[in-house]
Amino acid sequence: MNRTTLYSIILFCITLNSFGQNDKSIEDLKQLVVKQADDSTKVNTLLEISSQLFRSQPDSSFVYSQKAINLATQINFKRGLAYGHKNMGLGHYIKGEFSDVLIHWEKSLEIFETINDQNGISNLLANLGAVYETKGNDPKALEYLLKSVKIAEKIQDSSRMGTAYLNIGAVYSNEETTYEDAFKSFNKSKIIFSKIGYDEGVGAAAINIAELYLKNGNPQDALLHLNDALEAYSKAGSSLSHTYNSMGKVYKDQKKYDLAKEYHLKAIDAADLNEAKSDKTKALIALGEVLIEQKAYSEAIKNLKEGLDLTKTTGVYRDKKNAYEGLSKAYSGMKDYKNAYSYQQLFTSISDTIRNESYDESIGNMRFRYDLENKEKEIKLLNIDNELKQAQIERATASKRLLYALAALLLAAVGGVFSRYRFIQKSNASLAKERNKSDSILLNILPKETAEELKEQGFIKTKYFKEVTVLFTDFKQFSLVAEEISAEDLVQSLDYFFKKFDNITEKHNLEKIKTIGDAYMCAGGLPTENTSHVENAFAAALEIMEFVRETQNNPPEGIYPFEIRIGINTGPVVAGVVGIKKFQYDIWGNTVNIAARMENNSKPGKINVSENTYQHLKNKYNFTYRGKIIAKNEQLLSMYYAEENIGKKT
């Protein structure tokens, strides 16, 4: 699945903190501060002035923030010093100077931690997470944001909770597989901000929700949420650059290019008004993309290069990536293939920088830990329910024993006792049946050992496996076939193949992990470790390949005779359960990534194995060396094909 990057809005709760002077105008505050003694009250006044200035006049806000920092240092007012660095960072954030933002906010966080200010810690963690998300470091962003929301929930600070949820949504919105989580986070944020009357927060959440609707092919719903954003931002007196830019993207999606161009130009003007380099960068790049659609390639290149030049100040990798991609398309449209190729290479390089091999593992593990903490409440309820059922069975059993005693003592009442006995037997059977049904459903979702761990302990720990073997399969030209045959035949065909794959997987003591579209993933050596996982996985691959070939030669009615590619790799993984609803046993690690690479670089009808897997099997089976491919982290990966007439070596 191709990565889809959303333009995300970063929100910071700033003016929610009161410095005690927020009912006065800037001019009143300026007159007041010159009369005040050099104490904490004066620091708070300086901070209030900088807070009111940073959006519209960031350079002026720096002057007052620095004065607050100097005085707070002089009188050892640590809380004022922390907010001084925070406000300095806010001004740099508006200007898109993210390196300076990080310097001041990390210093602010350090001071808040020293004085154990939980509100300040939560806020700065959320802000830092937002900056790392903007710069393209999603794992680092999520690390900060999850810490922030945990503190905010503990101290019941609605503004911090709303900020953290918004920024967590921004991280999740950078990956199609986590769009659902992004929607949930943005909606939580919007509800919280609506309750506390924070209009800018409502606007930010509305824009992000709109962007997700747009990426899901629903521009009408996107426009509805953008109108909400316009209303909220207008009430807050905030810049409309974000909203205008998003509206331009909606109109581009609808192929209304003149209207799209108009809104992107509005976004640029609004960004210039507030010296917002990051906003202007995004608007220039978006305008360039519209101009490419209008075949105005020279004008597109001019805007894209201007946006790219601004990224030297902002350091936002995703903006660079989008600019490189746009420039490659524009030069290609002009048939200047030399420049098109150069920018395509830069685009590929920076895409790998944004998302390296450890991305999925880092994000997945952090989501797992956070989801697991939230899921503990549900698990406790499940355990209580199970305990109640067990108690019912035990009470019924005790009643049955009592009936035996009564039967011996009260022979005259045997008829009534017998009736009662039958009732209890039926109750026991019914309860046992329901319990077995619940167990069956759980075992259909989780491996047996993992399900037992959940039932016995109430939670599931992540586990490191030193060596497992991962197998991927994928059908040739599945997308093209999907367009040619009916949906019913397509689903019927997938069901036909995957049911057989399930049987083969179980037969060879492998654990099915998941299906992703037409891809099937399983692994050996977990959740119970064993020493036969490599041979088990290879034997399963041979049987799957043989079954697919038999189907090609004699396809049942309504079944499309797909060709298949298979890739196998052996190495360490981390395994655990992700999600709260419909949770799933999954594995992460470079081993999984390499197995997927083996499948991607295989050919239909071939089993492609990695060096690690080959070393386990080379003395038992025949293979052909294929050469090496370069992974994203520039690691060279050797590949081997299982030979056509595979057989054990003698």
DSSP H stretches of helix in 197-316: 199-215, 219-236, 241-253, 257-273, 277-293, 297-314
Quick check: helix, strand or coil at residue 609?
strand
Element (H, E) at 629: strand 623-630
Q: Which residue has the higher pLDDT, 81 or 527?
A: 81
Taken in order 411, 412, 417, 418, the sign of the CA dihedral is positive
Task: Quote the tokens at residue 541.
Answer: 């691959």
pLDDT band at 568 (very low <50, low <70, confident <90, very high): very high
pLDDT digits (tens, 9 = 90+) for 3-14: 333 333 344 444
Report residue 325 as tokens: 């991609």
CA 87 to chain centre: 30
- DSSP at 70: H
Beta strands, E only, 121-233: none
pLDDT at 582 over 80: no
Q: What is the pLDDT of residues 230-263, one digit of tens each?
A: 888 888 787 788 899 999 999 998 999 999 999 9
Spatial distance between the Cα atoms of 387 and 402, rounded to a whole number of angstroms: 22
Distances (CA, A) of 218 to 202, 227, 253, 547: 20, 15, 10, 41
Write the pLDDT tens digit of every residue in 90-102.
988 888 788 899 9
Structure token pair of residue 603:
């050919």
393: nearest Cα among 442, 436, 343 = 436
Of 168, 594, 584, nearest to 366 by C-alpha is 168
What is the b/e burial string over 207-222, where b = at least 16 CB atoms within 10 angstroms of the residue's CB?
bbbbbbbbbeeebeeb
- The pLDDT assigned to 505 comes to 95
If you average pLDDT over residues 323-350, what whole number do you get? 87
Distance of CA 284 to the CA centre of its chain: 27
- Residue 38 CA to residue 40 CA, distance in Å, equals 7
State how far the Cα of 300 lies from the Cα of 302, in Å rounded to an integer: 5
In the chain, the amino acid numbered 276 is A
What b/e sequence results for 253-264 when a residue is b if at least 16 CB atoms lie within 10 Å of its CB, and e otherwise? eeebbebbbbbb
Counting Cα atoms < 13 Å in the Cβ hemisphere of 282 gives 27
CA 204/CA 187 separation, integer angstroms: 11
Cβ–Cβ < 8 Å for 189, 162: yes
Task: Note the pLDDT tens digit of each residue in 129-171.
Answer: 888 877 777 788 888 888 888 898 888 888 888 888 888 888 8
How does DSSP assign 7-58, residue by residue? P-------TTS--S-TTS-HHHHHHHHTTS-SSHHHHHHHHHHHHHHTTT-H
What confidence tier does 330 reach under pLDDT thresholds 50, 70, 90?
Answer: very high
Band of the pLDDT at 173, cuts 50, 70, 90? confident
- For the entire predicted model, the pTM comes to 0.47
Grouping H, G, I as helix, E, B as strand and the rest as coil, residue 558 is coil
Confidence band for 354, pLDDT divided at 50, 70 and 90: low
Instruction: Over range 328-341, report the average pLDDT.
Output: 88
Residue 81 has pLDDT above 60, yes or no: yes
Phi and psi dihedrals of 38, rounded to 5? -80, 80
Distance CA 439, CA 445 (A): 10
pLDDT digits (tens, 9 = 90+) for 469-506: 999 999 988 888 887 888 888 889 999 999 999 999 99
Angle at the Cα of 592 from the Cα atoms of 596 and 541, rounded to 5 degrees: 60
